[in-house]
């Protein structure tokens, strides 16, 4: 039997403390349902004593039908000088009715003296009293030893006494925390080995302040810990927590341990992107395992090797984590890149054909001029179709356009005129918009939609502008990337010009052209 590692997700509590992360109650319910579907063992929902939103979440969470995960409420040990049965915060933890309560308490003698301002003996009593009280009320207690690694380095015997107090009072897990994120893997491993003797299974909770959250978590697991805490995409306090989208596949695919069902692992990339959507964060393309660039190949020799033998430059099959290989084309590319990328786009190229060589030469020339096709597959597809002598890249041609802006800084009006040829007919349309590009888009739509009704479903999902040579000031070339969608699929197109409006128009033309070519 493969060794099992419990996955404890704290995205909704520790993750919510990250910069720029905000969850509504409905957001938290959606994330909890998705985490349960993914197959984690525990979901930490929040701290009911800290804010009304978390209290409301736990009330609403009672309607969730969790199949895999146990829901945990988070809180602290009782206050000094007060019995756990009389502590308001502890009462609140019981009131929300979760099957699991996760407590944290002090492990470092410095924190005991300087933060709690109590004796070491009183801190041990606070731990034991609170854990025992919750266990008597039928709760499973996971005990987080705050600053455990630092406290262990400071006074090993006292840190272990804290863990032993929790275990003897009935905690089901004792979790060593590298709360400041500054420990090294060898220190964490040694600490974990020591805590194995306190009488309860050991877990690990790491932060990424030194860039070592994953390495430290893995060190603890290698040392014998059987429970890992972290967040999806590594969100969390300061620089974040251990990223479960990396920790889970490392443990499962590299070590052979069982963390989640194999079918769930193939949904890992989807889970990462789901959370980015909920938190309104731009996905990090360079995120290991699940990022858009994790299995992207650009160098010509790399692509040629991958075409012959995938493992040449891929440490695992991308499909194992629900990701996909992406062949990039640029001035770094060889013909192998272009052939494989074309195949992704549904176009078969002959590597040795003159048309393929010509397409690659044009591609490199355009890249030199500032074009980039890495986020503009639709523009690349149209370029390849032209070189293959297929039907016209777009079934229409923009002959002329004009944009005017009238008014002052606070009340400008934009108007655009576009003359389009469709077959042997020409149309002239005029439209107003919120800005010159919006007006131009509206005019182009007005000229095309009567002839191509399917374009009525196409909308712009994203619009990005990058200045290519800032030293040239306002005369610099700009690259515009437009993301379009018809509600079921999405595609990217690109335009480059020293004229921002013209660059935008080029990207818009390709976007509508791709929709029609499909």
∠ CA 118-124-130, nearest 5°, is 105
For residue 496, list its beta bridge partners: 479
232-250 pLDDT, tens per residue? 999 999 999 999 999 999 9
Strand 326-327 with 296-297, pairing:
parallel
Question: Can you give the pLDDT at residue 7?
Answer: 98
Question: Can you give the pLDDT at residue 3?
Answer: 93
Question: Can you give the pLDDT at residue 474?
Answer: 64
Q: Helix/strand/coil (H, E, C) string of 176-245?
A: EEECCCCCCHHHHHHHHHHHCCCCCCEEEEEECCCCCHHHHHHHHHHHCCCEEEEEHHHCCCCCCECEHH
Question: Can you give the pLDDT at residue 476?
Answer: 77
Question: Can you give the pLDDT at residue 328?
Answer: 55
| Domains annotated on the chain, with CATH | 73-277 (3.20.20.70), 296-368 (no CATH), 397-517 (3.30.160.270)
DSSP 3-state of 174: strand
Closest CA to 268 of 323, 228, 215: 323
Question: Can you give the pLDDT at residue 162?
Answer: 98
Instruction: Please tell me the distance from the alpha carbon of residue 518 to that of residue 510, in angstroms, as a whole number.
Output: 12
Closest CA to 163 of 145, 188, 138, 187: 145
Instruction: Please tell me the distance from the alpha carbon of residue 231 to that of residue 4, in angstroms, as a whole number.
Output: 19
Q: What residues have CB less than 8 Å from 167, skipping those under 6 apart?
A: 143, 174, 198, 199, 200
**Could you tell me the end-to-end alpha-carbon distance of the chain, in angstroms, rounded to an integer?**
49
Query: Is the distance from CB of 340 to CB of 277 less than 8 angstroms?
Result: no
DSSP 3-state of 416: strand
Instruction: Please tell me the distance from the alpha carbon of residue 159 to that of residue 123, in angstroms, as a whole number.
Output: 11
Question: Can you give the pLDDT at residue 1?
Answer: 62
Question: Can you give the pLDDT at residue 197?
Answer: 97
Question: Can you give the pLDDT at residue 14?
Answer: 96
Query: Is the distance from CB of 324 to CB of 355 less than 8 angstroms?
Result: no
Query: Is the distance from CB of 260 to CB of 253 less than 8 angstroms?
Result: no
Instruction: Please tell me the distance from the alpha carbon of residue 168 to that of residue 180, in angstroms, as a whole number.
Output: 27
Q: What residues have CB less than 8 Å from 95, skipping those under 6 apart?
A: 48
Query: Is the distance from CB of 412 to CB of 405 less than 8 angstroms?
Result: yes
Q: Write out the two tokens for 113.
A: 């003296």
Q: Which residues of the chain have pLDDT under 50?
A: 331
Query: What are the C-alpha distances in Å from 424 to residues 400, 418, 420, 421, 513?
Result: 16, 16, 10, 7, 18
Query: Is the distance from CB of 5 to CB of 251 less than 8 angstroms?
Result: yes
Instruction: Please tell me the distance from the alpha carbon of residue 67 to that of residue 383, in angstroms, as a whole number.
Output: 49
Q: What residues have CB less than 8 Å from 211, skipping those under 6 apart?
A: 239
- Phi and psi (nearest 5°) for 313? -135, 25
Q: How many CB atoms lie within 10 A of CB 149?
A: 31
Is the CA virtual torsion 229, 53, 100, 142 positive or negative? Answer: positive
Query: Is the distance from CB of 5 to CB of 259 less than 8 angstroms?
Result: yes
Helix (H) or strand (E) holding 382: helix 377-387
Average pLDDT, the chain: 89
Question: Can you give the pLDDT at residue 209?
Answer: 98
108-141 pLDDT, tens per residue? 999 999 999 999 999 999 999 999 999 999 999 9
């Amino acid at each position: 039997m493969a060794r099992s590692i419990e996955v404890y997700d704290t995205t909704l509590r520790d993750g919510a403390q990250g910069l720029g992360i905000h969850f509504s109650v409905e957001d938290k319910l959606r994330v909890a349902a998705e985490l349960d579907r993914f197959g984690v063992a525990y979901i930490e929902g929040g701290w009911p004593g800290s804010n009304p939103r978390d209290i409301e979440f736990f009330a609403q969470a009672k309607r969730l039908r969790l199949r895999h995960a146990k829901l945990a409420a988070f809180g602290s040990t009782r206050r000094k000088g007060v019995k756990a049965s009389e502590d308001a915060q502890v009462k609140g933890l019981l009131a929300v009715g979760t099957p699991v309560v996760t407590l944290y308490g002090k492990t470092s003698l410095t924190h005991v003296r300087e933060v709690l301002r109590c004796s070491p003996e009183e801190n041990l009593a606070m731990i034991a009293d609170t854990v025992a009280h919750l266990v008597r009320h039928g709760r499973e207690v996971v005990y987080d030893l705050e600053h455990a690694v630092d406290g262990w380095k400071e006074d090993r015997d006292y840190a272990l006494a804290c863990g032993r107090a929790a275990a003897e009072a009935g905690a089901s897990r004792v979790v060593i925390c590298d709360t400041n994120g500054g420990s090294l893997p060898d220190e964490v491993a040694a600490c974990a080995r020591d805590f194995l003797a306190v009488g309860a299974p050991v877990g690990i909770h790491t932060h990424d302040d030194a860039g070592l959250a994953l390495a430290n978590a893995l060190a603890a697991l290698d040392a014998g810990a059987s429970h890992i805490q972290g967040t999806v995409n590594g969100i969390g306090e300061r620089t974040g927590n251990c990223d479960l989208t990396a920790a889970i596949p490392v443990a499962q695919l590299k070590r052979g341990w069982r963390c989640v069902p194999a079918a769930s692992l193939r949904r890992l990339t989807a889970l990462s992107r789901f959370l980015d959507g909920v938190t309104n964060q731009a996905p990090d393309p360079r995120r290991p395992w699940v990022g858009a660039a994790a299995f992207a190949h650009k160098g010509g020799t790399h692509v040629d090797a991958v075409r012959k033998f995938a493992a040449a430059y891929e440490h695992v099959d991308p499909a194992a984590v629900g990701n996909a290989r992406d062949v990039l084309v640029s001035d770094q590319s060889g013909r192998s890149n272009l052939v494989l990328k074309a195949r992704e786009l549904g176009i078969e190229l002959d590597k040795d054909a003159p048309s393929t060589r010509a397409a690659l030469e044009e591609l490199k020339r355009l890249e030199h001029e500032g074009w980039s096709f890495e986020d503009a597959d639709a523009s690349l597809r149209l370029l390849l179709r032209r070189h293959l002598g297929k039907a016209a890249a777009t079934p229409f041609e923009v002959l002329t356009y004009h944009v005017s802006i009238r008014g002052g800084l606070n009340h400008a009006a934009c108007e655009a005129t576009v003359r389009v040829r469709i077959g042997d007919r020409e149309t002239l349309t005029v439209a107003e918009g919120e800005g010159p590009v919006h007006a131009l888009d509206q005019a182009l739509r007005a000229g095309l939609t009567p002839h191509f009704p399917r374009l009525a479903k196409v909308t712009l999902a994203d619009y990005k502008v990058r200045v290519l040579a800032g030293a040239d000031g306002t005369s610099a070339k700009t690259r515009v990337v437009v993301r379009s969608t018809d509600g079921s699929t999405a595609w990217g197109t690109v335009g480059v010009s020293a004229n921002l409006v013209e660059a935008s128009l080029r990207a818009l033309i390709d976007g509508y052209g791709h929709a029609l070519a499909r």
